[in-house]
């Protein structure tokens, strides 16, 4: 078996449910409102990234990464943004 076939077989064997109603997306949906309120007018977008978005997620060993894009005129530095987001969550 060639390496690509092996990887595909493992991904198929441990495939994780995705899409609307999946546990990962239900959990992410719960974060959308607090993130939107936290970011305010500086929010440019929220999207999935990492293994979940790439389709390389596997059952029992995955998380869901969320990329929050903020505008270039966001008034706080990264440390302060992190602290305020941490306080919201």
pLDDT at 89: 64
DSSP string, 41-89: GGEEEEEEEHHHHHT---TTS---EEEEEE-TT-SS-HHHHHHHHHHH-
40 and 75 Cβ atoms separated by less than 8 Å: no
- Sign for the pseudo-dihedral over CA of 50, 52, 56, 59: positive
- List of the chain residues with pLDDT < 70: 58, 61-62, 89
DSSP at 2? -
pLDDT at 77: 87
The answer to whether the predicted template modeling score (pTM) of the entire model surpasses 0.85 is no
The torsion defined by the Cα of 59, 24, 35 and 65, in degrees rounded to 10, comes to: 30
């Amino acid at each position: 078996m060639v390496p690509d076939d092996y990887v595909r077989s493992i991904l198929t064997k441990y495939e994780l449910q995705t899409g609307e109603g999946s546990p990962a997306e239900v959990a992410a949906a719960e974060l959308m409102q607090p993130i939107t309120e936290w970011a305010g007018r500086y929010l440019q977008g929220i999207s999935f990234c990492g293994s979940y978005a790439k389709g390389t997620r596997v059952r029992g060993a995955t998380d869901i990464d969320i990329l929050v894009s903020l505008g270039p005129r966001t008034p706080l530095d990264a440390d302060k943004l992190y602290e305020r987001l941490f306080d919201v969550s």
